[in-house]
Amino acid sequence: MADQPEDSSPREESLGLRMLKTRTVLVSGAVDDKLAEKTIAQLLILDAESHDPIRVMITSQGGHVDSGYAIHDMLRFIESPIITIGAGWVASIAVPILFGAPKERRYSLPNTRFLLHQPSGGAGGQASDIRIEAEEILKLREKLNELIAAETGQDVERVAKDSDRNFWMDAEQAKEYGLIGQVVTSATEID
């Protein structure tokens, strides 16, 4: 990882390298292009080194949908088995990132909170541009609802209803809903 961001300190660089040595990737904070680029690069490096499992710790309020899907798709694309672990909060587009692992390898720490909601966006300009943006948001909403339904076993109608407004769950509720496979209190509980 020779190309470190200019705003990162030597301590942050050292921490990042140590995490990579343990095959752990941290998805933390707002999901944007910068986080997606960093996460994807780390995943590709680890997958090139070996096909041993990679742990992905997620603590995120969500963010840019396309950046989140880029991370989700890469988690599914690489050959290394992925383990995702929710910590703190897993909200909005961070939920599909969590789905980068199959349900039996999706975990949560006990105090993690989960948020489902419909995508939002802002549009300005001419009425035709606003209409196009609104149509795209509706397509994204349908796509997200279908993914959540497929990954949780819920029907699309229930997911659409639940995510129509902010729908919060604690770790146990997320397990019951099907977002995760297990709530863990120790790293030793993870296969």
User: Can you give the pLDDT at residue 29?
Assistant: 98
Q: Which residues are catalytic?
A: 92, 117
Q: 146-161 burial string, b = 16+ CB within 10 Å, else e? A: ebbbebbebeeeebbe
Task: Report if residue 55 sits inside a domain.
Answer: yes
All residues at 6 or more sequence positions from 82 whose CB lies less than 8 Å from its CB, including other chains: 53, 54, 56, 75, 76, 100, 101, 105
User: Can you give the pLDDT at residue 3?
Assistant: 47
Task: Report if residue 191 sits inside a domain.
Answer: no
Task: Report if residue 95 sits inside a domain.
Answer: yes
How high does pLDDT run on average in the chain? 92
Judged by average pLDDT, the poorest of 38-47, 63-72, 116-125 is 116-125
| Residue range of the domain that includes 69 | 11-181
pTM of the model: 0.89
Element containing residue 20 per DSSP (H, E): helix 10-21
Model confidence at 92: pLDDT above 90: yes
Task: Report if residue 189 sits inside a domain.
Answer: no
Give pLDDT tens digits for 115-172: 999 877 666 677 877 787 778 888 889 999 999 999 999 999 999 999 999 999 999 9
Number of separate domains in the chain = 1
Task: Report if residue 75 sits inside a domain.
Answer: yes
Model confidence at 64: pLDDT above 90: yes
Task: Report if residue 5 sits inside a domain.
Answer: no
Q: What is the mean pLDDT of residues 91-110?
A: 98
20-23's contacts with Cβ under 8 Å and 24+ in sequence apart are 20/45, 20/46, 22/55, 23/52, 23/53, 23/54, 23/55, 23/80
Task: Report if residue 186 sits inside a domain.
Answer: no
Q: What is the mean pLDDT of residues 31-42?
A: 98
CATH of residue 124: 3.90.226.10
Task: Report if residue 84 sits inside a domain.
Answer: yes
